[in-house]
Amino acid sequence: MLERRGNHIAYHPNLIELCAHYHFEPKACQVRAANQKGRVERAIRYIRDSFWRGRSFTTLAECNRQAAQWRDQIAHPRPWPQGRLAQRGPCLCRGTAAADPAAVHPFPTDLIVAVQSHKSIYVRFDLNQYSIPPEAAGKPLTLIASDTVVRIVEEKREIARHVRSYDRRQLVLDPQHQQALLETRRKGIGVTAASRLALVAPESETLLDRAFAQGESASQQTAQLVKLLDLYGADALRRRHSGSLQHDTPRASAVAYLLAKQRPAAPQTPVDLSRHPELEAIEVRPHNLEVYDALARRNRRPSES
């Protein structure tokens, strides 16, 4: 009910559509007249006490099976209020068949919500995470959820379909989405220095792991190996990696020693100063280091001398 003015009521459009589908008419109670909906409340209490209380199930399908069994064996055999000799089930079926024929198809009750992922391949719905293709990350999407299936749509195209989970904090992952993410990351390898080193010299991963285990800085070792890669090339670096590991010296300095022992590094290209000729005339004079020693002695306390 959206609005009411006396006996004039504006119902929600979805309710009107439901009434037209199943051929019934809604009846609103008077304001602050709880006694007018007593039968409805008693039916809800009966279902809660007779069916839900003390019952256990693990899936929605199992719950529906138990509900159908309870309806046929317990709820419908109860006496009909207007005639104690009749049962509720047959009376309800006769009344429904006499009023209107059954609907050809069920009324659509799918929940439609707008979703969007940010940095991952998951969208959040109902306390769970559902995977999407990597190319759909960051785009506005539409999630359509039924009681059993969760579908994710981009514009008019379905891009993902999952079995709906009623657990909490679950990652519902499609293996194809995970594989597509791995392929995307493989294509992007080489963007960073570490990934470039791992691509051209896979042996470096073992060397870095052993160097880190011996207390070396992984970032410093990686930076030194990348410099050696630029100076000597990938083939030479891979060969010297193996030699360093065989001698149990997993360090970039050991690899540099083996490379220099094999052949000197390629000469570095001189800096082009043609656009700044004034820099060629700069003369840098080294300072006498004794000046710094004198400053240190001047600031030293008498007790430290």
Q: For tokens 């008419």, name the residue.
A: 25
Q: Is the pLDDT of residue 129 over 80?
A: yes
CA distance 248 to 288: 42
Please count the other Cβ atoms lying within 10 Å of the Cβ belonging to residue 160: 22
Question: Which stretch of DSSP H or E encloses residue 225?
Answer: helix 218-232
Contact 119, 161 (CB under 8 A): no
Of residues 219 and 52, the one with the higher pLDDT is 52
pTM: 0.51
Structure tokens at 168: 């909490």
Average pLDDT in the chain: 81
Contacts of 150 (CB under 8 A, 6+ apart): 125, 130, 143, 144, 161, 162, 163, 164, 172
pLDDT interval class at 173 (50, 70, 90): very high
